[in-house]
Structure 1
């Protein structure tokens, strides 16, 4: 069985807990910051671009998503860099870098097929159609402001792995077991996406990301899989209409 560091009340452990709490607070503040900052930022974008409110809206949202995620990620990196042992959740040797990359790539396919199974269950049991409104909305924003792609594909996955895999899963797995920690962190991961019709799909993703982290003892494994998944979904969403038109033209030529 995987050996996990025992939690004690030593100064180092207390520092780890504080780091985890601060990273979580940064993420929460980033999520709710739009309540106070989005409107002033929107007015600034309108003033700088000379666009009407409706035309400036996607630009405002895209840049705000990119900047808020970037700031939150930078602050999280600074905090975790000051706590060198923060990532030492497990005892023993971590997986090698090459195998970490291999597991990350394999993890992408695991998540992809896991989502297919989840979608089939949603359709068969609940009659829920495929396609995520949350994903569609974010990609629509990215089409208006491509800078948002950085948040969708890079900043977001890294920050979410810090929060849901290291902070939540990593903290719980030290005092409970893999399944309790994985399920709790996966449910929170699903809830934060605010797409409750597809909560099963997000939960499955969270469970697989937790498994990848647990398997290799490296957070970069789940980050690789998460980045690849978001990149693939974004690519498909961006080129869905041109691809459909291309296939229709091929059918006409036959």
Structure 2
């Protein structure tokens, strides 16, 4: 692993650990408690994102020299396929957790993120865009890439995906995150373009964020209307019978 990649890992770790002093600083400044995670994440992830992009500048400049790199058309095709693959992997892993291991559906990590986004909607930028981009750079480009040079796909994919799962601090659902990590690693290996798993990851997080944060009120209203319609239909059917 070259020196720039080590600096990317160090930057990512510092960005994560900065939440500890960040919470203290914002609390002393009188920021509302429920908005502190979102505000600090916007600052730390935004700054970390800029630093990591600068460190990746040589890679972006020399990206056309990568052997076996997919064409743009193939990359678009695999990006679309990848979105469905990651949804399928997540769903399959969740079913295994529920029916084989008796683990309840639903992620505390996801629920906590939703609460942060509801308190500060701008936090969705971190969850849906900046976060997934950084995770793909760190866990696929850097960690998986380094392991894949020494081991086969399954070993490199398992180790990097397990680290990816652990960093979410949702150990009950390690299988779900690991399955997702394998899909993202496969997309990267298949296309030799880190942008493909990035777009697939962003699409997944963006969908979850929009549904659970921006559309949650509309969904609740639609469900209530559906229940009222079902009740009316039941009354009409009962009257006819």
> Shared topology, TM-score over 0.5?
yes
1:45-56 matches, cutoff 5 A: 45-46=30-31, 56=32
- 1:81 equivalent to 2:81? Answer no
- Matched with 2:102 is 127
> Contact between 2:19 and 2:41, CA under 8 Å: does it hold in 1?
no
Which secondary structure state, in structure 1, belongs to the residue aligned with residue 2 of structure 2? helix
> Contact between 1:190 and 1:202, CA under 8 Å: does it hold in 2?
yes
Superposition TM-score, scaled by structure 2 size: 0.89
Distance 1:97 1:42 in 2: 47
Quote the offset at 1:67 in angstroms.
Answer: 1.4
Gapped regions of structure 2 (runs ≥ 5):
234-241
> Contact between 1:59 and 1:141, CA under 8 Å: does it hold in 2?
yes
> What stretches of structure 1 move > 3 A for 4+ residues in a row?
82-88
Distance 1:18 1:189 in 2: 21
Distance 1:108 1:211 in 2: 12
- 1:159 equivalent to 2:134? Answer yes
Gapped regions of structure 1 (runs ≥ 5):
1-15, 47-55
Which of structures 1 and 2 has the bigger CA Rg? 2
> CA offsets, 1:141-174, max 9 Å, x none?
1111111100000000000000000110011111
Aligned residues: CA RMSD: 1.9
- Matched with 1:244 is 220
Which secondary structure state, in structure 2, belongs to the residue aligned with residue 176 of structure 1? coil
- Given candidates 5, 19, 39, the residue that maps to 1:63 is 39
Distance 1:66 1:123, change over 3 A: same
- Matched with 1:35 is 20
> Contact between 1:80 and 1:86, CA under 8 Å: does it hold in 2?
no
> Contact between 1:45 and 1:60, CA under 8 Å: does it hold in 2?
no
Quote the offset at 1:123 in angstroms.
Answer: 0.7
- 1:232 equivalent to 2:207? Answer yes
Distance 2:30 2:48 in 1: 21
Which secondary structure state, in structure 2, belongs to the residue aligned with residue 193 of structure 1? coil
- Bigger drift between 31-40 and 199-208 goes to 31-40
Quote the offset at 1:241 in angstroms.
Answer: 5.0
- Matched with 1:112 is 87
- Matched with 1:53 is none
Distance 1:242 1:195 in 2: 28
Distance 1:243 1:112, change over 3 A: same
> Contact between 1:100 and 1:218, CA under 8 Å: does it hold in 2?
yes
Superposition TM-score, scaled by structure 1 size: 0.85
> CA offsets, 1:163-214, max 9 Å, x none?
0001100111112121111111000000000001111000000000000000
> Contact between 1:165 and 1:209, CA under 8 Å: does it hold in 2?
yes
> Contact between 2:165 and 2:177, CA under 8 Å: does it hold in 1?
yes
